[in-house]
Amino acid sequence: MTAGTDGPSIKSWYNSDRQTSIVYACFLRGRLGSGVQQEDILLRIAAHLLMEARLRDGYWVNPARERESVMPSEASNTGVIQDSSTEDQLRLLVESVTEYAIFLLDTGGHIMSWNMGAQRLKGYTASEIIGCHFSIFYTPQDILSGHPQQELAAAADEGRYEEEGWRIRKDGTRFWASVVITALRDKNGCLCGYGKVTRDFTERKIAEETRIDTMRDQISRSFLRDILYSVTEGRLRFCEDESQLPPSLPCFVDETSFNRTELRIVRSSVRDAALAMGLTGDRVHDIVTASAEAAMNAVVHAKQATVKVCGLPNTMQVWIQDNGTGIELTQLHRATLERGYTTRSSLGHGFWLMLHTCDRVWLRSMSSGTTLVLEQDAIAPRPAWLDRPRRVLDLPLRDAALELTG
């Protein structure tokens, strides 16, 4: 054995039963690492047992690795004495391992051995599966494309083949498998078969996909937030969490529930608050219109909602919340910018109307509900485009005149 960064690793071939016993002892003592290292050890033990009679005086070769031997000094340090029970112990070790599906294939890909880990992972007993072709574990698409045969060919050429992919259990369910296929050769280098080790990485796969989906969703939301803010010149602020909603102003009308038949409650509450906070004329009409549209959207999609009116002199807020399913991220741009867009065949102008009658709109839409905050000032804010720097054509007056007259 040689020492590596992850602990001792076994060399790539067996020279005698004495070395097999060394491997076994090191495995039991925990001197061999986890993951690929243990997969290699278990696979080699299985191969040794299967070819014991044929290779008693030879060795097993992995052509992808350097041919080396176990140092005598290491053998003496194991404290293991070869006896007649070693082969039985090794066989028991391979057959009892449940974390790995370990089995051997002939040169044509037919299954020659089976362990408890393979039965637990794939659902077949040894009597059911031995003699079957290993492509039985692959998806129909992989079988049609000849992928199982391609794996064996790659292992034969390179000595080893590794991949992760979907595999099929006996009951038809899928699992995400980590697969290692190793070519087995005799002392003359002739291919004798293949060793295959499979682990179930479904939980890891699901966790990774969840992480990627979450990251993709966060990027999409961040992109939409910036785009919507820019397109609406700061009127619409898409919020990813509650901390991005505006601080609530002092409450003027406490939170009140309403349904489709009680929209007048929203209109009257907003109108009274607007007048009390110093809004007049069109400013009152606009915030009432925006609030009525927001309230209608809430009860159409959630049946039940609440309204709260807050404010200070010259500024007011209308908070409308519902427990509906929210706006799908893929439809958010249409729902907020497209005039008359709806998913419920209802009348109205949606966010388009709110954005044209309200100074600022905050939107937080989740699968558990939507929060909408409308904010209106007593005096309409200065249009953003007026504050943009203007390009001045710096031409001499005479040149400008010549261009005008052609």
Residue 242 and residue 196 in one domain: no
Q: With a cut of 90, say whether residue 310 has pLDDT above it.
A: yes
Q: How many CB atoms lie within 10 A of CB 128?
A: 13
Domain membership of residue 396 (yes or no) is: no
Confidence (pLDDT) at 68 = 35
Residue 192 and residue 237 in one domain: no
Rounded to whole angstroms, how far apart are CA atoms 285 and 290? 9
User: 177-191, 202-216, 218-232: which range is least confident on average?
Assistant: 218-232
Task: Give the mean pLDDT of the chain.
Answer: 76
- Residues 301/331, Cβ–Cβ less than 8 Å: no
Confidence (pLDDT) at 343 = 62
Domain membership of residue 404 (yes or no) is: no
Rounded to whole angstroms, how far apart are CA atoms 266 and 269? 5
Domain membership of residue 376 (yes or no) is: yes
Confidence (pLDDT) at 88 = 56
Residue 171 and residue 36 in one domain: yes
Residue 238 and residue 196 in one domain: no
Task: Please compute the mean of the pLDDT values over residues 82-87 and round it to a whole number.
Answer: 46
Partners of 174 in the beta sheet? 168
Task: Please compute the mean of the pLDDT values over residues 162-186 and round it to a whole number.
Answer: 93
Task: Report the amino acid identity of residue 128.
Answer: E
Residue 177 and residue 283 in one domain: no
Domain membership of residue 227 (yes or no) is: no
Question: Residue length, the chain?
Answer: 406
Residue 274 and residue 187 in one domain: no
Domain extent, residue 118, equals 2-200
Task: Report the amino acid identity of residue 107.
Answer: T
Q: Collapsing DSSP states into helix, strand and coil, what is residue 124?
A: coil
Task: Please compute the mean of the pLDDT values over residues 334-358 and round it to a whole number.
Answer: 73
Residue 148 and residue 238 in one domain: no
Rounded to whole angstroms, how far apart are CA atoms 59 and 344? 73
Confidence (pLDDT) at 48 = 55
- Residues 177/199, Cβ–Cβ less than 8 Å: yes
Percent of the chain at pLDDT > 70 equals 67
Confidence (pLDDT) at 41 = 59
Domain membership of residue 173 (yes or no) is: yes
Residue 42 and residue 122 in one domain: yes
Confidence (pLDDT) at 387 = 59
Residue 238 and residue 151 in one domain: no
Supply the CATH number for residue 307's domain: 3.30.565.10
Pick the more confident residue, 197 or 45.
Answer: 197
Domain membership of residue 336 (yes or no) is: yes
Residue 53 and residue 183 in one domain: yes
- Write the DSSP assignment of 32-69 as a string of letters: S-STHHHHHHHHHHHHHHHTTTTSTTS--B-TTS----
Domain membership of residue 331 (yes or no) is: yes
Q: Residues 10-31: pLDDT tens digits?
A: 333 333 344 444 444 444 444 4
Percent of the chain at pLDDT > 90 equals 40
Confidence of residue 187 (pLDDT cuts 50, 70, 90): confident
- Residues 270/309, Cβ–Cβ less than 8 Å: yes
**Domain limit, last residue, from 200, 220, 246:** 200
Q: Check residue 387 and report its DSSP letter.
A: G
Domain membership of residue 207 (yes or no) is: no
Pick the more confident residue, 110 or 70.
Answer: 110
Residues 149-181, buried b or exposed e (16+ Cβ, 10 A)?
Answer: eebbebbbeebbbbeeeebbeeeeeebbbbbbb
Residue 287 and residue 358 in one domain: yes
Q: With a cut of 60, say whether residue 84 has pLDDT above it.
A: no
Task: Please compute the mean of the pLDDT values over residues 295-299 and round it to a whole number.
Answer: 88
User: 86-90, 152-156, 263-267, 309-313: which range is least confident on average?
Assistant: 86-90
Confidence (pLDDT) at 316 = 94
Domains of the chain: total? 2
Q: Residues 373-403: pLDDT tens digits?
A: 999 999 887 766 555 565 554 545 455 445 5
- Residues 27/43, Cβ–Cβ less than 8 Å: no
Q: Residues 245-277: pLDDT tens digits?
A: 999 999 999 999 998 888 888 999 999 999 999
Confidence (pLDDT) at 9 = 31
- Write the DSSP assignment of 131-184 as a string of letters: TSBGGGGS-HHHHHTTHHHHHHHHHHHHSEEEEEEEEE-TTS-EEEEEEEEEEE
Exposed/middle/buried for residue 197 (C-beta within 10 Å: 0-12, 13-18, 19+): buried
Closest by Cα among 162, 207, 209 to 183:
162
Confidence (pLDDT) at 47 = 57
Closest by Cα among 136, 72, 62, 141 to 103:
136
Supply the CATH number for residue 133's domain: 3.30.450.20
Residue 321 and residue 269 in one domain: yes
- Give all strands (DSSP E) within 169-276, no chain letters: 174-185, 191-200, 236-238, 251-258
Q: Please give the span between the terminal C-alpha atoms of the chain, in angstroms, as a whole number.
A: 91
Confidence of residue 102 (pLDDT cuts 50, 70, 90): confident
Confidence (pLDDT) at 33 = 46
